Structure formats: C-alpha cells, structure tokens
Amino acid sequence: MHQRSNRGLTLVLAVACGLTVANLYYSQPLLDLIAGSFGVSQGAATVVVTLTQVGYVIGLLFLLPLGDLLESRTLATRTLVATAVALLLTAVSPVFGLFLAVSVLVGITSVVAQVLVPLAADLAPPEQRGRSVGRVMSGLVLGILLARTVSSLVADLLGWRAIYFISAALMLVLAVVLRWVVPERPPGHTAGYRSLLASMAALVREEPVLRRRALCQATMFGAFTAFWTAIAYELIDEHGFSQGQIAVFALIGAGGAVAAPLGGRFADRGRGRALSGVMLLLSSVTLLAAGIGHRSVVLLAVAGVLLDFAVQCHQVLGQHVVFALRPGARARVNTVYMTTIFVGGALSSAITGVVHEAYGWTGVCAFGAVLPLIGLALWARGEWIAKRADQGTVSTILPRA
C-alpha cells in the first residue's frame, strides 16, 4: 500500500515538474512570431529565451534554498500562484520591453519544479532514490520537450499569446492539487535565511564533486539550449516549415524522456560514472552531425532525440551523486547544481543569438559541440582523482564523481 501511494505521489510530482518547467520553453519555437508581433529582429527575439533563463537562475539562487527553511508544500503552492500572475502579464504585454521584463518573472517563479525534485528524493527509500528522482525527472523532461510542440500547436490555432493564458490557468489548478496530495515536510534548517544563503558558499567550497558535476551538466545544457534555440530559425528559413510542422518536429525530442529513468536505474546499480562520459561524448558528436547534415530534416530529428537523451540521462546521473553528498541540505545542493546549469544555459542562449546572426546554423552547431567536450575534460579529471583515491595515493577520502 505504501509503495503504491509513493508511486502515485511520484506521478503527481512528475506532472507538476513538467507543467512548471514548460514555462521556460514555450517561447523557443515562437521566436519568429514574437519578433514579427513586436517588430524586432530574430536576434532581439532570442533575448526572450536568455532573460527567462536569467530569471530562473535568480529563482534558483534566492527562492530554491527556502526549501530547506520553509515547509515545501506551502512554498510550492504560493510560488505557483505568483507564476500564474506572471504568465498573465506576459500574455497581455503590449510592448516588447514589458514582455521581456515579465519573462524574467516567469523564469523566477517557475523554479517550483526544482523545489519538488529534492522532495521526491526525501520521500523515497534510499535504495529507490535514483528511480524516484528519475521518474520525476521524466516528467520534467517531458515538460521541456513537449512545451515546444504544445506552444507551436496552440500558436497555430489561437495565436502565440494563448499558451501563456492556458499555462496561467494550469498553474492555479496545480497549486490546488499539490496542496491536497503532497504531505507536509518539516524543514531541515532553522538558522535563518541569511545563514541559509551563506551555507551554499560553504557547499561550493567544500564539495569538489558538486562543483565538477554542476559544471559538466552546465556544458551539456548549454549545448541543448544552443540546438533548440536556433532550430526553429533553421527549419523556417532553410526548410520552409510552418508553425504546425515545427510542433511535430519538436515532438520527436520527447523520445529523450526515457533517458531519465534509465539513468536513475544505472545510477542505483553503481554504473553511472562511465555512462556520464559516454553521454558527454555523444552530445558533442550529435551536434557535429547536425551541423554537417543540416540539409536533411531526418538527420536533424535524430540529432534532437540523441541530444535530448544524452542531456537528460547525464542530468539524472549527476543528481543521484550530488543528492547523496548532504542529505540534510538537498535543496541547497540542488540550488548550486541547477543554478550552475542554468547560468550555462543563459550564457549559451545569448551567445547562440550572436553566433546565429554571424555564422548561421553551422556556427551554432560548432559552438554547441565544443561545450560538452569541455565537460568531458572535467569528467576525465574527476575519474583521474577517483582512481588515485581508489589506489590510496590521495591522502583524503574523496567522494566518487
């Protein structure tokens, strides 16, 4: 009975993560429509993606740590109400400047997804933690991937602003559901908000595995962001896609959602270290292939699936490791981990706009392919340190990366 109840709660958390994180990605396939609606260039429209992710980083830094200080259910439901308000403001923005400003607010409040991931880890038995986080991450991944398809279809039928009205309503419904089904969880930190923020600096300083894992995933997410930020321009300009066809194309990326539970199972079995390196290499090769074979829509679709698979699998492998570092500070650990990742994504989206203007799709793919190679170098260093520790040549006992 307990196991069945836990699975039902995990499903609710997965859906909640998917619906909230989708707010960050609705704009990606709509950039051409947004540019036309406000009379700005494609490069200027790309700033929407960057600022939404900047907002998410702000939320990660200053809202997510509250998961260790406040009761998680209350934090999540109240933030969802704020998300609904921000989405409504986005939907009715009459000028581009206001639209950009409220996009930051959407990013800040959509951090609810990351409040719920550590909660799933806390509620799961230790031997099933990887699977539970993997299932919740599957919902989050589907939210990321299906957001592009849903927003394209809605825009094709009702205009690009409609998706923001619809999502605002969903956030209010979700707040009610979470209030009803999620159990209360007493916070693990009582020293105050300032102390909470200061302790994150100590985490960064004292946990080299956390630093390395976060930076590796930041390079992966940067590659992911580069691909999906520029792909709509490539499909419209070079292949003559309509908004509906872009929606179908974005749907193929949903196949990458199987990576999250798969990564969780491998992590529970202790096989995550080598698989991390494989995923980093796979993402780099995939982007190179997408740049070389961009004239083939089929190859671009396959690249989208493989890239999403690699990024999401690597994410779960990393979370399995970092959540085990400080069980009493998982919200703060997740803050450091996810903030680093989304800083990488925001920087990547900003650079992608510039690179696309100057060098087109091929330049974007070359830029994206370099990022996971940087992560691969970090992974290799972590393996070298772990190997020396296993051989007893390192004086301190280091956590395995």
Q: Strand ranges (DSSP E) for 242-333?
A: none
At the second CATH level, the architecture of 2-390 is Up-down Bundle (1.20)
Q: CA-to-CA distance for 47 and 73, rounded, in angstroms?
A: 33
* Cβ contact 80:112 at 8 Å: yes
Structure tokens at 270: 């202790």
Q: What pLDDT was estimated at residue 53?
A: 85
* Cβ contact 203:262 at 8 Å: no
Q: Which residue has the tokens 């956390």?
A: 210
* Cβ contact 45:36 at 8 Å: no
Q: CA-to-CA distance for 77 and 171, rounded, in angstroms?
A: 9
Q: CA-to-CA distance for 304 and 287, rounded, in angstroms?
A: 9
Overall pTM surpassing 0.85 (yes/no): no
pLDDT in tens, the chain (401 residues): 344 456 778 889 989 999 999 999 899 889 889 999 999 987 788 889 889 988 988 998 888 788 777 887 888 999 999 999 999 999 999 999 999 999 999 999 999 888 887 777 777 666 666 677 777 877 887 887 788 889 989 998 999 999 999 999 999 999 999 998 888 777 666 667 787 778 888 888 899 999 999 999 999 999 999 998 899 889 988 898 887 788 788 777 666 666 656 666 666 666 667 888 999 999 999 999 999 998 899 999 999 988 988 988 888 888 888 888 887 777 788 888 988 998 898 899 889 989 998 999 999 999 999 999 999 999 998 888 877 766 665 444 444 55
Q: CA-to-CA distance for 284 and 61, rounded, in angstroms?
A: 29
* Cβ contact 222:345 at 8 Å: yes
Q: Name the residue ranges covered by the structural domains of the chain.
A: 2-390
Q: What pLDDT was estimated at residue 133?
A: 73
* Residue 313 C-beta-side C-alpha neighbours within 13 Å: 27
